[in-house]
Amino acid sequence: MAARLANSVVTISTTIEEDFGGGRGVGTGVVLTSDGQILTNAHVVEDASEVVVRFAGETEPRVAKILASDLGNDLALLKIDATGLVAATFAKPGSVQIGDAVIAIGYALALDGGPTVTSGIVSALKRTIETDSGALNSLIQTDAAISSGNSGGPLVNLKGEVVGINTAVARGDSTSAANNIGFSISVDEVLIVVEQLRKQASGVVRDDGFLGVGLAAREDGGQGAIITDVQADSPADKAGILIDDVVLAVDGEPIDGQAGLVAAIRDAEPGQTVKIEILRDGKRLTFEATLIARSE
């Protein structure tokens, strides 16, 4: 698998200029098209004044242009001047299962030589984590080792198909410990966002979906997010959602907390009708809300 993907994975180096000096960053990218489109994490190229990529076996970097970036979904589309590249093959949406064997490929810690390859399994699906830019949902959890520099690289199955884009690793704190818990943006989400990035690159402005509710986390150990406010005449209000309702799922996607609901609504488009599963007075109810565009 490493040999098959060798020509479709690149190291990404960035130059960042700030008021109090600059710095450099390193990440990984995946070749999308033979004519030079490359996918990586948005946080890899965030605030970069210069981006270059280098293929395994090459000595010289190639200048890359950021075509479009979506920090909320942590994906960015780059372009280099090239032809005849070997594009990675992506797995079919919905094909990933818990327990599948997977391999993470990327330029971990910017080590010399080719990319680092680590193996593991799909530990869980549809995870949600909070990030500096909000929340990421529909994530694949894996025990394949993911380190700094792996960001933006592929998680692949044993057919050599990309099932996710590696984005983050869980870290312990003063009250918890984390080992072998990494996260990848699932192919289901990646393929949708890639098309949105391409439209964005061509000048189409994308508006986030808006439901019109205030939220709070459950503190009783239960699943879901609590509705604390419903704006008048908002999609939530028109759908019949009430204060103190507990949102359990959106379009079948489980909601484990505030971040999950925010991410699910953000990823939907204005005009889209979503099915929202609610727990109210011990009963499960389903409402349909037609989202509108979020106003600034």
Beta-bridged to residue 278, according to DSSP, are 247, 285
- Residue located via tokens 């060798």: 6
Here the tokens at position 270 are: 């204005």
- Judged by DSSP in three states, 115 sits in coil
Burial (Cβ within 10 Å: 0-12, 13-18, ≥19) of residue 128:
buried
Distance separating alpha carbons of residues 239 and 231, to the nearest angstrom: 12
Q: How far apart are CA 132 and CA 1, in angstroms?
A: 33
The pair of structure tokens assigned to 222 is 């239960």
Question: Using CB atoms within 10 A of its CB, is residue 243 exposed (0-12), middle (13-18) or buried (19+)?
Answer: exposed
Could you tell me how many residues make up the chain? Answer: 296
Torsion, Cα 181 184 188 193, to 10 degrees, reads 150
**Which position has the token pair 């439209």?**
199
Active site residues: 43, 74, 151
Phi-psi region of 6 (alpha: psi -120 to 50; beta: other; left: phi over 0): alpha
DSSP 7-53: GGEEEEEEEEEETTEEEEEEEEEEE-STTSEEEE-HHHHTTEEEEEE
